[in-house]
Amino acid sequence: MQLVPSKEKKPLKIVLLGEGGVGKTTISKSYIDNYFFTKSKQTIAVEFHSKIITHSDKGVSKLQIWDLGGQEHFKHMGVFSEFCKGADAALLCFDLTDLSSLFNLSEWLEFITPAIPRFLIGTKSDLATQDEKNFDLARYIQRFNCVTSFKCSAKDLKSVINIFEKVLLTIERKNSKLTNISSDSNTQLSNKLLVS
Ligand SMILES: Nc1nc2c(ncn2[C@@H]2O[C@H](COP(=O)(O)OP(=O)(O)OP(=O)(O)O)[C@@H](O)[C@H]2O)c(=O)[nH]1
Ligand SMILES: [Mg+2]
C-alpha cells in the first residue's frame, strides 16, 4: 500500500453562539480534551479552543473553535459579527431544560451570514425531563434555517464528539464541492468521520 504524505488543509473555524450558561464552553472543552469539565467560568467576550483534525488521507486541518460569551452585555459590544466572519459552521446552542434559551436564539442569528451552515444544539440532556428530551425541534430547524439539530450532554462525551464529527463532515462536503476534490478522497474522509 502506498503511503500518502501528510499535507495541511485549510484551517477550519466553528463558532458557538447562545445564551449565557447553556454550556458552550463545556462542550467545546469536552470535545477538545475528551473530558467533561464540571467547572467553567463565564466567558468574557470570546474564548478560543483549537484541535488538529487528522483525515484518513493523512491530510490535517487546524480546527479553531470560537466560543462566544453569552451574557447580554457582550452582544452589544458590536464585535460578534466580526468574530463570526469566515466561519465554516455555527453551532446555535440552547439549554434543553430552559426553552427561553431556544427562543432567544433568533437574537444570535444577526451575527452570522446566511452562507454559514448552522446547527441547532440542545445541551444538558442529562438534566432534562423526558418531555424536554422529546421536544420537537423541527419548526426551529426551519425557522433558524439549520442543517439539522442535535441533543447532547457534556457528561456523555460520545454525544458531543458525534456533533463535531457530523459538523466537520458537512463542512468537508461543502468545501470539497467548492474545490472540486476527487470523490475518492472525499469518500475516505466521510468513512473516517462516520466511523471514528
Ligand atoms: N449537568 C450538566 N451540566 C452542564 C452541561 N453542560 C454545561 N453544564 C454546566 O453548565 C454551566 C455553564 O456552562 P458553560 O459551558 O460555562 O456555559 P456557557 O454557555 O459557556 O456560558 P457563557 O460563557 O456565560 O456564555 C457549568 O456549570 C457547566 O458545568 C451538561 O451537559 N450537563
Ligand atoms: Mg462560556
Residue 65: band (very low, low, confident or very high) from pLDDT cuts 50, 70, 90: very high
Neighbours of 95 (CB within 10 A): 21
Decide if 14 contacts 46 (C-beta within 8 A).
no
Pocket of ligand 1 (CB under 6 A): 20-26, 38, 40, 42-43, 69-71, 123-124, 126-127, 153-155
Over range 88-93, report the average pLDDT: 98
C-alpha cell at 132: 424536554
DSSP alpha helix (H) spans, the chain: 24-33, 72-75, 80-84, 100-103, 130-134, 138-143, 157-179, 183-195
Mean pLDDT confidence for 110-133: 97
Q: Tell me the angle at which helices 24-33 and 157-179 cross, rounded to the nearest 10 degrees.
A: 80
- Inform me whether the pLDDT recorded for 181 exceeds 50: no
Between the CA of 80 and the centroid of ligand 1 the distance, in Å, is: 20
Atom of ligand 1 nearest to the CA of 124: 31
Rounded to whole angstroms, the Cα distance separating 151 from 93 reads 10
CA of 29 to the centre of ligand 1 (A): 11
Q: What whole-number distance in Å separates Cα of residue 20 and Cα of residue 9?
A: 33
What pLDDT score does 186 carry?
44
Does pLDDT of 192 surpass 90?
A: no
Task: Name which residue sits closest to atom 15 of ligand 1, judged by CA.
Answer: 23
- Protein residue with least CA distance to atom 16, ligand 1: 40
> How does DSSP assign 44-73, residue by residue?
-SEEEEEEEEEPTTSEEEEEEEEEE--SHH
Of 144, 152, 85, which Cα lies nearest the Cα of 119? 144
190 pLDDT above the threshold of 80: no
CATH of 12-195, one of 3.40.50.970, 3.40.50.300, 3.40.50.10490, 3.30.1490.20: 3.40.50.300
Report the C-alpha gap between 54 and 165 in whole angstroms.
12
Contact yes or no for 88/64 (Cβ under 8 A) = no
